[in-house]
Structure 1
Amino acid sequence: MSKVVLDVSVSLDGFTAGPNVRQAEPMGDGGERLHMWMADDEQVRQEVDASVGATIIGRRTFDLGLEPWGGTPWPGVPGFVVTHRTREDLVGDNGGTFAFDGLEAAVRRAKAAAGDKAVLVLGADVARQLLGKGLLDELWIHLVPILLGGGTPLFDGELAELVPDGKPITGAATHLRFRIATP
């Protein structure tokens, strides 16, 4: 059975996007620097890419990301957009299909679509919702050595016990994996 995994790049001061997130700057001011590690830490990036079977996407992340991605960030991979504003499924330019649903239904459908691969979560808000409902299984954090000074916080008041899963990998970022402990 697939796991629901938040795979996220985060600044040392805890932000997943810079300040002033908007259509012209979907990662906020300076936020694109959070992904610079991907060019240097190729093995980590390849492992993440190979693990993706489906995605769960917050509605705002979908709205801001559809144009630059042309679909999901992984061509052909289905995405399940968590929203109260449902609509008909949409096929992205790169072959990924987006389905629009509520949180629990999106998780159920994404797990079925992913098979034995991971369901990756895109969006800090939807990640917080999943954590709060006990639907998030793992965190894969790429800790980037920058300070953004503001923006979208990774977690804001949520509590969870994290269990390290493997040793940190260092490179252009420090790559950490945790399982979410169940109470």
Structure 2
Amino acid sequence: MAKLLYSATMSLDGYIAGPGGDMSWLSEHLGAENPTATRLPASVGAILVGNNTFGGDDPNRGTEKEGAFGGAYHGPTFVLTHRPPDEPAPSVTFVSDLRSAVAQAKEAAGDKYVNILGANVAMQCVEAELLDEVLVFVAPVLLGGGVRMFDTDGQRVRLTPRAGETAHWYGVEY
């Protein structure tokens, strides 16, 4: 059964995007050898993403590395939104309900991960106690503002380090 994984690169001060959703800061931190990042796309069977992230900035826009995981992902994508476009993109399903989006993405992912992209959808999954794991790549930069990786409004969520990982990979406990 698929698990929900929220993976993101964040600045040392906790931001995954700069002010206005700017992702240009990330470009200089991509490309460094990281075995966890290299093997991650092969373990993802579906992506669940919010509409802001889906239509937002891509640090690789206009290059062969545009898209999820530097262009390495080519599977089903589920966009959680109340404003679907008139003409959907290929391999993209627009869903307005979180639980339905999660169920559809899990079915599509099979025994692989459903990778969540976007802080808003990740927080909705935490609040609904649906998130299974968190994978954090920390970039050596302080952004000073923007979109926080998590904004829990005081909700405490315990994380358990995943054994054998050198990256910041955690199981989620409610």
TM over 0.5: yes
- Choose 134-143 or 160-169, whichever is displaced more: 160-169
- Unpaired runs of 5+ residues, structure 1, are 170-174
Contact kept in structure 2, 1:53 and 1:119, CA below 8 Å: yes
Q: Deviations over 1:145-180 (max 9, x none)?
A: 2111111111112421111112452xxxxx211000
The one of 106, 109, 117 equivalent to 2:104 is 109
The one of 52, 56, 70 equivalent to 1:64 is 56
- Unpaired runs of 5+ residues, structure 2, are none
Asked whether 1:145 is paired with 2:137, we answer no
Aligned to 1:90: 88
Structure 2 counterpart SS, 1:39: coil
Q: Equivalents in 1 of 2:93, 2:87: separation in Å? A: 5
Contact kept in structure 2, 1:7 and 1:139, CA below 8 Å: yes
Q: Counterpart of 1:134 in structure 2: which amino acid?
A: E
Contact kept in structure 2, 1:71 and 1:91, CA below 8 Å: no
Provide the identity percentage: 35
Are the structure 2 counterparts of residues 4 and 89 from structure 1 closer, same or farther at C-alpha, using a change threshold of 3 Å? farther
Aligned residues: 165
Are the structure 2 counterparts of residues 74 and 103 from structure 1 closer, same or farther at C-alpha, using a change threshold of 3 Å? farther
Structure 2 counterpart SS, 1:64: coil
Contact kept in structure 1, 2:45 and 2:114, CA below 8 Å: yes
- Aligned-residue RMSD, C-alpha: 2.3
* Displacement of 1:70: 6.3
* Displacement of 1:49: 1.2
* Displacement of 1:87: 4.7
Aligned to 1:44: 36
Aligned to 1:162: 159
The one of 94, 97, 110 equivalent to 1:100 is 94
Aligned to 1:77: 75
Q: Equivalents in 2 of 1:105, 1:88: separation in Å? A: 20
Contact kept in structure 2, 1:91 and 1:98, CA below 8 Å: yes
